[in-house]
Amino acid sequence: METLLPIFVAAVRSGTPILYATLGEILTEKAGVMNLGLEGIMLMGALSGFAASLWGGSPLIGLAAAFAVGACLGLIHAFLSVTLGSNQVVCGLAMTMFGGGASALAGRSYIGMTIPGLDSWSIPVISKLPVIGRIFFSQDIMVYASFALVFLMMFFLHRTRPGMNLRAAGDNPKAADAMGLPVAGIRYLYTVIGAGLVALGGAYMSVVYNKFWAEGMTAGRGWIAVAMVIFAIWNPLQAALGAYLFGGVETFQLRLQAAGARVPAPLLMMLPYLMTILVLLFISAGKGHKVSLSAPAALGIPFYREERE
């Protein structure tokens, strides 16, 4: 167990950026908007978080700046997909290309720099618990915030009226509109908030996990988050499970490389992404019907309000 504990601890840290991105996309998709621009938003969040932390002198400033930048990108996506009714897949892909190119261009001057970032903080008493204390309660504040966010989203989506209104906008926007709910406003709000959470996932990479900026540092985690939404069946608790599973596989392959395993390094680096593909294949084969029932019925479909006489 002492050998495995460091892997489990690292798995939680490695899975946290994916968890933030997945939770943000769940919020967005529950409202009926599909955003495939997660990779680009994460990269912009990573760059803005690092730059603001460097010049502002505080990692909290960096995290706040990353959320604001992600929210702005979400606002653009909402305008294109909700107001203009553009193809949401195309808009998301354009967002990914824009985020990748803009972050690479604007981030050239930050390559090679480092920041203090956020350090781990063990919670008194409970961090001393056997096994789970070290895994879950000897982390950093962003990890603890992600734990709280998972349970808050579960409660919000299923136990509050605003959460039910959100699900109504994604499942049956016409019925929601007939009830007097502002469907377009709901979709705008949660697309913006969701993109902000996605950007926080990117900022975690540069402000907490690595504490430096590198071009393309998210390494496809935005696409992994898109897959994790389906793996989780739009459930925040299952999203946490999927994110930490990915983090565990990634940590395991890094440990194998460090141990000098006689396996080609590119093959080991491929393991996390191969696992994601296998998980999606398993879901499609065994739980395809359940996934189709859990997906918001109006996901990706523009809503046009009918004018009443």
DSSP class of 114: B
Q: How many CA atoms lie within 13 A of 58 on its CB side?
A: 4
pLDDT at 278: 79
DSSP secondary structure letters along 282-295: HHHHHSHHHHHHHS
DSSP class of 117: -
Which CATH number does the domain housing residue 113 bear?
1.10.3470
pLDDT at 122: 86
pLDDT at 237: 94
What does the chain come to in residues? 309
Q: Does residue 302 lie within any of the structural domains?
A: no
Domain count, the chain: 1
Residues 183, 132: Cα–Cα separation, whole Å? 42
Task: Indicate the SS3 state at residue 143.
Answer: helix
Mean pLDDT of the chain: 89
User: Residue 217 in contact with residue 210, Cβ under 8 Å?
Assistant: yes
Residues 131, 4: Cα–Cα separation, whole Å? 10
Identify the bridge partners of residue 245 per DSSP, sorted by sequence position. Answer: none
Q: What is the pLDDT of residues 210-255, one digit of tens each?
A: 999 999 999 889 999 998 998 888 999 999 998 998 888 888 877 7
Q: Does residue 207 lie within any of the structural domains?
A: yes
**Region for residue 219 given its phi and psi (left: phi exceeds 0; alpha: psi -120 to 50; beta: otherwise):** left
The pLDDT of residue 199 is above 90: yes
Q: Does residue 282 lie within any of the structural domains?
A: yes
The pLDDT of residue 309 is above 50: no
Q: What is the pLDDT of residues 7-52, one digit of tens each?
A: 888 899 999 999 999 999 999 999 999 999 999 999 999 999 999 9
Q: Does residue 307 lie within any of the structural domains?
A: no
Q: Does residue 194 lie within any of the structural domains?
A: yes
pLDDT at 198: 98
Residue type, 276: T
Q: Does residue 309 lie within any of the structural domains?
A: no
Q: Does residue 300 lie within any of the structural domains?
A: no
DSSP class of 108: G
pLDDT at 139: 92
* Two structure tokens written together for 100: 């990748």
pLDDT level of residue 143 (50, 70, 90 thresholds) = very high
Q: What is the pLDDT of residues 269-296, one digit of tens each?
A: 777 777 777 777 776 666 555 565 578 9
Q: Does residue 109 lie within any of the structural domains?
A: yes
The pLDDT of residue 138 is above 80: yes
Of 175 and 257, the structure prediction assigns the larger pLDDT to: 175
pTM: 0.93
Residues 134, 126: Cα–Cα separation, whole Å? 9
Domain region containing 37 = 5-294
- Provide CB contacts within 8 A for 30, sequence distance 6+: 157, 166, 167, 170, 190, 234, 296
